[in-house]
Structure 1
Amino acid sequence: MIREFAGKYFVSLIQWTSQLMSDSEFKTIRLLNGVYLQLHSYMLRVAIPCGVLNATQLYALSIASQKYDRWYFHVTTRQSVQFNWIQLRDTPQIMNALTKVGLWSAHTAGNCVRQITCNPKHGIGLDEQTDITDLMTELYNQFMLNERLIDLPKKVKISVRGNITDNNAGAFNDIGLRLMDKRIYITVGGGLGKEPKVGIKFISLEKEYVSSWIATLLEVYRIFGINKQRPVRIKHLVAEVGKAELIKLTHGFRRIKTATPSKCPQDIRVRHIDTIEWDNSKEFETWFNTWTFPNKQPNFRHVELSCNSGIGAPGDVLAGEVDVICKMVQLYCLNEIRLTQSQTLLLPYVCIVNMKKVFQVCKRFIPNNIACCPGLDYCTKANTRSIFLAKKLSTLKTNLKIRISGCQNSCSQHQLFDIGIVGVNKSGREYYQILVGGDGPNGVLARVLCKAVPAFKVIGIVRWLDKLIKKLKKDRFEKTYQCLARNKIKLPKKLQL
């Protein structure tokens, strides 16, 4: 009902805004409905619950991109989807069409609780300690599309995981939740952007009380913002109030046990395996060893694939390629596909019986370890172009994880990967700052290697880093951030200006 109300509410606002509202007044309304004004057109952001889509939802997104956009939609690093070339008058029709398949755009922008991200390997990762399905359902019901949480000082981002490995940068969210058995371990005050900060280990609670505690923290945060009379994030609240005092302020939350939804059995084991068709080619072997992973469910693996076959920008899902992906998802993947932090797609349940058939589709969609924000091609805040540079770097075939942001807002989360590239404005010209040695799962921020280099120097620097890191690593098990922590490298003068 709330989603339908949000869509209808926005329809009436679109019809009357030219007569009743100024641009500044309408800005608040459109942001709360997920509509941004970008460099050349409006952009609509769509929430993907738990980062999980089925074939019907994929088809709906594809049809919307064909009718109202430019035949593609964009997957972000925060498990949501964006349409970058829409007309404002078409937004009500897009919202209503997506609402019918369980998707919505309300509260994907503005000063509210935005998308609650989760580990894309929940339920399938071998390192999962506790299933987070029930917790995610509870948090969505409590905080998403909550009309009482639309006037927070700034946006709030929440992350949830039940795995040992932090695959969704939980420590760099305003509130990071790690579920272990029946207790939840909480980090608070993380964030990226111009002031990157690792969240502090704050408190542990029983699972039943976490929603009440988060509600109390958000109320404290709201009051703090009113007193400061300036935009502040939760990381500023932690820094100024302090951990001990903030624990006291949130200690009096009402310990109300929330109802836990019934747990659906996930026993999808194949008890009788037919003869497995196998491909003995080198291409299949490389793909299987690189982009398929062991699954908690016997006789299944999960498979990672790129959003497109290399024609579009990183994260762009082309409408012309959706049909083949949807057919594969329906036939061989239990009608489920997930979005990842790396702007890729994850097929969580692929039976080994069907691995050869899945390979015939996925070999067109091989990921390349590079993700980027839309950059100056779309965004008004960007200093440089990201998509063009990402396509150039993809030709290097490096195993290093590279992230490119057009500005310090860190939409690609460039501080958390092997190489981060961020656009800077230098005397009105496009330059790039290069960072190295980040690692999100271990809470390590990348350090600056060079402050400003022109675009034509970047590819040479990345190629040099790729060769150097291969030489410096002790063995194939050492991670890049560990290697760079041991070796304080400096950029050679020939690669500088």
Structure 2
Amino acid sequence: MIREFAGKYFVALIQWTSQLLSDSEFKSIRLLNGVYLQRHSYMVRFAIPCGVLNATQLYALSIASQKYDRWYFHVTTRQCVQFNWIQLRDTPQIMYALTKVGLWSAHTAGNCVRQITCNPKHGIGLDEQTDITDLMTELYNQFMLNERLIDLPKKVKISVRGNITDNNAGAFNDIGLRLMDKRVYVTVGGGLGTEPMVGIKFISLEKEYVSSWIATLLEVYRIFGINKQHPVRIKHLVKEVGKAELIKLTIGFPRIKTATPPKCPMDLRVKPVETIEWDNSEEFKTWFNTWTYPSKQPDFRHVELSCNSGIGAPGDIFAGEVDVIGKMVQLYCLNEIRLTQSQTLLLPYVCISNIKKVYEVCKRFIPTNIVCCPGLDYCNQANTRTIALAKKLEELKTNLKIRISGCSNGCSQHQIFDVGIVGVNKSGKEYYQIMIGGNGPNGILARTLCKAAPASEVPKIIKWLDKLIKYLKKDRFEKTYQCLERNIIELPENFLTNCT
């Protein structure tokens, strides 16, 4: 099927270049196939099913970046991959190349169901109550690349988790699903961007009826948006129709049980670990305690690492480093690596007997707490640059979780972390609004600390804020948002002499 989408796009490209299609007609087709026009070139976005890659797919992305891009590709906060420097004439070739390894660009943009995100620790996290693998497979089969869902009023984002803590911003998706035993608890109407909103607790369903119910909700959403002058999101549907009435409209859906493909569990049985090669250095102990996590699987841990060794923007993976990471994935990680919403990589299955060998590679790829969108360096919609600011803030080595967005669309999800920085344009100049105290798992939106600060002042504010929060915290276990809820923090008078 994904080959068919790529073929249709190629035909449309030929028709457009032959002037058989207008610019607006080709634009709608281009976007539906994940091709954006940015400031300097075209960008192509590819969906990563369940956020999981094997070594073959990782190498294929690396080769595509060498052949068609500038020797790197970019990981987004929604478990997708982007190529930012693509020539339009090369877009069919890169689509065909990556479909061979099971990756696709279709429906990663446009008014359709976008990438369905999930908790990257599914199947391994200690707080997971139910494995979501079967549900994710069912949702992908039903809603991804569905040609009947390409004319929705606006994009629809779906998130799935089976763990207790909402670490993948499910409450801030159009549809958030939490699987517990054989029931699914649904939140509807969440969203970030210019109108941030926490999704409301909507309904609980038996697992086998979830797909049918979502299909009904999307049809109601489509009908609702037909007569609207301006495009609407599902959160507007919930606000105008109301929860009670919307339940009446969707609860009568046909109770058809969808077939769930049989699960093929990975066999993780290994010989009992007798000898563990260890490193007694402080650097290894710090890394082990910070970036490795206990797993549900005996004798295994999962390991988080940065996409690059510190020489690139957050989320950028360089082709030269893919060989190192890919070889490690094949040798020590059961040929699987996952993308996280923090623009980092996760090795889900690392046997404790191999932990030192994995450390020898991962010590070059220490993650930071900073995430940013491409910003004005790439994006037409951005107001400010983000990458240069992110590199400056990395030097502070703060423990605050910082998210930087170039505009109010909020691709970095800046409203639901410790510190959110969003670019604003004031009289043609670049300024940054600073927000504090957000927390995604608890559905708390950040509040504004500073409405407009020049780039030169932002590191000073973050450094001051980091020291202040460390001083105000009751203990090391208190979260930043909890500390800020106990204390009303405002900038000292005349702190920003250049702020307007």
What residue is the counterpart of 1:48 in the other structure? 48
Q: Output the amino acid matched with 1:293.
A: Y
The amino acid across from 1:206 in the alignment is E
Residues 343-362 of structure 1, C-alpha deviations (whole Å, 9 max, x = no match):
00000010100000000000
Task: Tell me the equivalent position of 1:337.
Answer: 337
SS at match of 1:452: strand
User: Where do 1:115-264 residues align within 5 Å?
Assistant: 115-264=115-264
Question: Is the Cα–Cα contact under 8 Å of residues 47 and 115 in structure 1 kept in the other structure?
Answer: yes
Gap regions ≥5 residues in structure 2: none
Contact 2:172 2:199 in 1 (8 A): yes
The CA deviation string for residues 103-144 of structure 1, in whole angstroms up to 9 with x for no partner, is: 000000000000000000000000000000000000000000
Partner of 2:70: 70
TM-score (norm 1): 0.99
Could you tell me which runs of 5 or more consecutive residues in structure 1 were left unpaired when the two chains were aligned.
none
Partners in 1 of 2:266 and 2:22 — Cα distance? 51
Where does 1:414-429 land on structure 2 (aligned, <5 Å)? 414-429=414-429
The Cα shift of 1:266 comes to: 3.6
Distance 1:383 1:362 in 2: 35
User: Offset at 1:163?
Assistant: 0.4
Note the C-alpha offset of 1:274: 3.5
Q: CA deviation at 1:272?
A: 2.0
Q: Distance in 2 between matches of 1:269 and 1:486?
A: 48
CA distance in 1, matches of 2:48, 2:149: 19
Asked if the contact 1:269–1:299 (Cα under 8 Å) also holds between the matched residues in 2, the reply is: no
Does structure 1 retain, via aligned residues, the 8 Å contact 2:13–2:26? no
Distance 1:403 1:269 in 2: 39
CA deviation digits over 1:278-308, x for unaligned, max 9?
A: 0000000000000000100000000000000
When normalised by structure 2's length, the TM-score is 0.98
Measured against aligned partners, the alpha-carbon deviations of 1:412-467 in whole angstroms (never above 9, x if no partner) come to 00001100000000111000000000111111110000100100000000000100
| 1:249 counterpart SS class | helix
Report the residue type matching 1:262 in the other structure: P
Mapped partners of 1:99, 1:299: distance in 2: 35
Q: Find the counterpart in structure 1 of residue 5 from structure 2.
A: 6
> Do the aligned partners of 1:172 and 1:192 also contact (CA within 8 Å) in 2?
yes
* Equivalent position SS for 2:457: helix
Equivalent AA in structure 1 for residue 484 of structure 2: L
CA RMSD of aligned residues (A): 0.7
2:305 corresponding residue in structure 1? 305
- SS of match in other structure, 1:442: coil
What letter corresponds to residue 46 of structure 2 in structure 1? V
SS in 1 for 2:325: helix
CA distance in 2, matches of 1:8, 1:449: 49
Structure 2 CA distance for aligned equivalents of residues 282 and 431 of structure 1: 40
1:267 Cα deviation from its structure 2 partner: 4.1
- Alignment check: 8 A CA contact 2:301 2:352 kept: yes
Task: Tell me which amino acid in the other structure corresponds to 1:484.
Answer: L
* CA offset digits 1:38-74 (Å, max 9, x no partner): 0111000000000000000000000000000000000
1:152-190 deviation line (CA, Å, top 9, x unaligned): 000000000000111110000000000000000000000
- Measured in 1, the distance between the counterparts of 2:493 and 2:102 equals 54
Q: Could you tell me which residue of structure 2 aligns to residue 406 of structure 1?
A: 406
Contact kept, 8 Å, 1:221 with 1:234, in 2: the verdict is yes
Larger displacement relative to structure 2 (226-235 or 399-408): 226-235
Q: Partners of 2:209 and 2:229 in 1: how far apart? A: 31
Task: For 1:409 and 1:11, locate their aligned partners in 2 and report how far apart those are by CA, in whole Å.
Answer: 30
Match of 1:487 in 2: 487
Counterpart in 1 of 2:436?
A: 436
Give 2:90's aligned residue. 90
Contact in 2 for aligned 1:457/1:495 (Cα 8 Å): no
